[in-house]
Chains A and B, each alone.
Chain A
Amino acid sequence: MKKTFSFRDFSTVFMHYLKKETRSRVYLIVTVLLCSLSLASCFILNAFFGEKEKKPLYIIDRTALFSDAFQNAELSGDFFEGVSLDFTADQSLPDEKLSQMVRDEEGGPFAVFSQEADGIKLTIIDSGTLSSADTQAFLTLSQSVYLQYNIEAAGISPETYQNASRQLIFEEVDPSQQSGNFWTAYILYMLMVIAIVMYSVSAGNEVAYLKTNKVMEVVTTSIRPLPFYLGVTLSIGLSGLIQLAAIVLCSALSFRLAGTDLSVLGDMGITLSSMTAGQVTAYLLLFIGGFLLFSFVNTAVASIVNRTDDVASTLVPLEMLAMVQFFISLFALDSDSFFTAFCSFLPITSPSVMFVRYMMGFAGTSQLIISILLLYASALAMAVIGSRFFSRGVVHYGTIREFSLKGREHS
């Protein structure tokens, strides 16, 4: 018992708590629920972003100018959101009849091109089925065809017109910012903060449970505090990672099974596959370091809690502290500043803030390494301090205010 750390004791505690945690009813229910939700997520995405059946927009061309041009135009599949052009409608139907059909929901919507005295008129007969985006897109397309016709009628060659109407090519470039990573960084850091808060509080709750059940005195007369403390914290962390991995696997499986088009995520800027090995490693190291730090803080504080009533009031402020990094990371996504740079080295905020700065190109590898080293050094220091709290807290059954590391505990 002279040794501070026994690996055998640690592994006994670690395995017991890992089994206990992963076999607990709450854990299984939550995992199954989250896995089911992730399995369902692909169908939800498909429903929102998948290919939808497009309604026809019937073209009535009384000018004979547009139908051919439309049919010859190579329009991409997503040129219109919810309609496709249809040329099969009876061209001789009068406007009144077309309106009647739309009113009675027998047909439509219709796009009617007609010759007026001062030019060609486009009339859309619709009762709200066309989206404004599709109306605008159709108008733009028609304008373009009409412009082409007018240019040719005026004897100007299309090339001449194209050369004369050339516009500036505009692009805004910020070499320090990898704006393509915005959504990836956003999603991943959010996941990191939520997981850190959730699982570190679980570790704190477990120690509070041990304390309020007064079982710690029995346990710490069997093994040293440090292996027990580390065993509980790390097993709960690993059970959390197992839960996350199960959810991610279910998501991946469901995307594959349902054949969801992931390019939708790419269009939104979420490009997980484009993350470099460095970024993935940074994410994992910062995530694990953050979890360890907050778990050690939570378990240390929870070990001096005596009554179940005090658990929430003690752990909630720590959750708030862990959530601070969420808001600072939001600033870090937008721009770099002295404040966000400082917070990316401060261990209580560095996990997500440094990750965001690194993803957005605001921080280099050297800054990342320093931040990770500081984070792990703090976690290690907190583990030692926490185990001291833990061993002192074992026989402390007074109020938190009465607690002292010098051993002025209740007799």
Chain B
Amino acid sequence: MKIEIQNLTKNYGGFRAVDHLSFSFRSGTLTAIVGRNGSGKTTTIRSLLGLIPMDEGKILVNGVPGPLNLKRVGYLAEERGMFPKETVESQLIFLAQLKGMSSRDAARSLDRWLERFGIFQYKKSPLESLSKGNQQKIQMLASLLHDPDIIIFDEPFSGLDPVNMQLVIELLRELCAEGRCILVSSHQLPLIEQVCEDICIIDRSRCAYWGSLKELKVEKGGSLVRFTVSDPVPAALNAQETAPGRYQVQLGTAETPDFSAFLQKLLDTGLSPDTLERSGKSLQEIFLELVGEEEAIQ
């Protein structure tokens, strides 16, 4: 399955929230949509789901224009919301029924997912009696209970502790491996980098990059050598003080054509590095560069 968004444009009065945005996501590939606050991510998702009308553009499902079949979509909204007074079981079965499931199938699926999330003991508890993290899990579970083909998660990591973030990462990988069509929106770029293959970077309502994350890193990530030292560093190295009395030096590929030669040179300076790392730029760094470039253009 492939979902394509073509030339999506959405205006709020005189403000253009999304400007001719095009990207796609498909089964078996995890796609991320990232951007700064107010860049238009949530508007894009809401337009895709038909919650708000588009001013321009179209949605193609497997190449055919038309809206998504919402019964087959699992959606985790950015604005989290459930029924706090109702029991976990009652509200999840209701939400699954709204997606077209029979109550019996919903009950069976509920048991399986509660076990999977390790919260089976809260089945009969009112939602408000659960911890915030467990409430987040219930919310996520509500979007998965009906076994959707298309999964759209808006900020799935928000409010989760590191253990639960890891749980969600593993879940996303698992769902992707099962051939689901997944779109994730998030600010948590280090986490996105771990799980996504395709990425759409939105800046100021427009697409700054759309394509493979791997290619983006090859194109924009370069090759870096980073080392940290506790002693003051010669000014020519442009060291950054990352913590009191701790300096990081970052050198691009151009300065280090030969890694062995670089190491020798470093030892010759008399500096004793605490850490040494050879890598490309992180997604966060590429994102900041891209967004910075866009900002400079504007």
| 8 A Cβ contacts from B3-58 to A | 10, 12-13, 15, 17, 38, 40, 42-43, 46, 49-53
Among B65-73, B161-169, B269-277, the one that faces the other chain is: B65-73
Q: Could you tell me if B81 and A213 are in contact, using CB atoms closer than 8 angstroms?
A: yes
- CB of A221 within 8 A of chain B? yes
* Known contacts A1-B71, A221-B51, A407-B52; A215/B82 CB under 8 A: yes
Closest Cβ of chain A: how far from B279's Cβ, in Å?
A: 36
Q: Could you tell me if B79 and A214 are in contact, using CB atoms closer than 8 angstroms?
A: yes
**Inter-chain contacts of B43 with A (CB < 8 A):** 411
Q: Could you tell me if B94 and A16 are in contact, using CB atoms closer than 8 angstroms?
A: yes
- CB of B99 within 8 A of chain A? yes
Q: Could you tell me if A214 and B71 are in contact, using CB atoms closer than 8 angstroms?
A: no
Contact-size category for A: 20 to 34
* Known contacts A1-B67, A214-B81, A215-B81; A222/B98 CB under 8 A: yes
Q: Could you tell me if B142 and A218 are in contact, using CB atoms closer than 8 angstroms?
A: yes
* Known contacts A1-B69, A1-B70, A222-B99; A215/B51 CB under 8 A: no
Q: Could you tell me if A20 and B42 are in contact, using CB atoms closer than 8 angstroms?
A: no
- CB of B132 within 8 A of chain A? no
- CB of B259 within 8 A of chain A? no
State the interface size on chain B (CB cutoff 8 A).
37
**Inter-chain contacts of B46 with A (CB < 8 A):** 395
* Known contacts A1-B70, A12-B97, A395-B51; A221/B75 CB under 8 A: yes
* Cα separation A10 to B154 with both chains bound (whole Å): 27
Q: Could you tell me if B83 and A215 are in contact, using CB atoms closer than 8 angstroms?
A: yes
- CB of A166 within 8 A of chain B? no
Closest Cβ of chain B: how far from A29's Cβ, in Å?
A: 15
Main secondary structure of the interface of A (DSSP, over half): loop
Q: Contacting B79 at CB < 8 Å: which of A2, A9, A13, A397?
A: A397
| 8 A Cβ contacts from A1-59 to B | 1-2, 9, 12-13, 16, 20
* Cα separation A409 to B17 with both chains bound (whole Å): 11
* Cα separation A179 to B12 with both chains bound (whole Å): 60
**Inter-chain contacts of A394 with B (CB < 8 A):** 51
**Inter-chain contacts of A223 with B (CB < 8 A):** 70, 98
> From B68, which residue of chain A is reached at the shortest CB distance?
A1
Most buried by B among A214, A218, A219, A395: A218
Closest Cβ of chain A: how far from B271's Cβ, in Å?
A: 49
Closest Cβ of chain A: how far from B207's Cβ, in Å?
A: 16
| Per-position binary interface string of chain B over residues 84-95, scored 1 when its CB falls under 8 Å from any chain A CB and 0 otherwise | 101000100011
> From B73, which residue of chain A is reached at the shortest CB distance?
A221
Q: Could you tell me if B38 and A9 are in contact, using CB atoms closer than 8 angstroms?
A: no
Closest Cβ of chain A: how far from B239's Cβ, in Å?
A: 41
* Cα separation A409 to B12 with both chains bound (whole Å): 7
Q: Could you tell me if A213 and B97 are in contact, using CB atoms closer than 8 angstroms?
A: no
* Cα separation A217 to B152 with both chains bound (whole Å): 13
* Cα separation A92 to B15 with both chains bound (whole Å): 107
* Known contacts A12-B97, A16-B97; A213/B82 CB under 8 A: yes
**Inter-chain contacts of A407 with B (CB < 8 A):** 12, 52-53
* Known contacts A395-B46, A408-B12; A214/B80 CB under 8 A: yes
Q: Could you tell me if B70 and A221 are in contact, using CB atoms closer than 8 angstroms?
A: yes
Q: Could you tell me if A219 and B51 are in contact, using CB atoms closer than 8 angstroms?
A: no
Q: Contacting A220 at CB < 8 Å: which of B51, B86, B97, B143?
A: B51
Closest Cβ of chain B: how far from A112's Cβ, in Å?
A: 73
> From B139, which residue of chain A is reached at the shortest CB distance?
A218
| 8 A Cβ contacts from B88-122 to A | 90, 94-95, 97-99
**Inter-chain contacts of B99 with A (CB < 8 A):** 222
**Can you pick out 7 interface pairs between chain A and chain B where the beta carbons lie within 8 Å of each other?**
A1-B70, A16-B97, A215-B81, A218-B143, A221-B49, A221-B70, A221-B75
- List the 7 closest A-B pairs by CB distance, nearest first: A214-B81, A222-B98, A215-B81, A214-B79, A217-B77, A411-B17, A411-B43
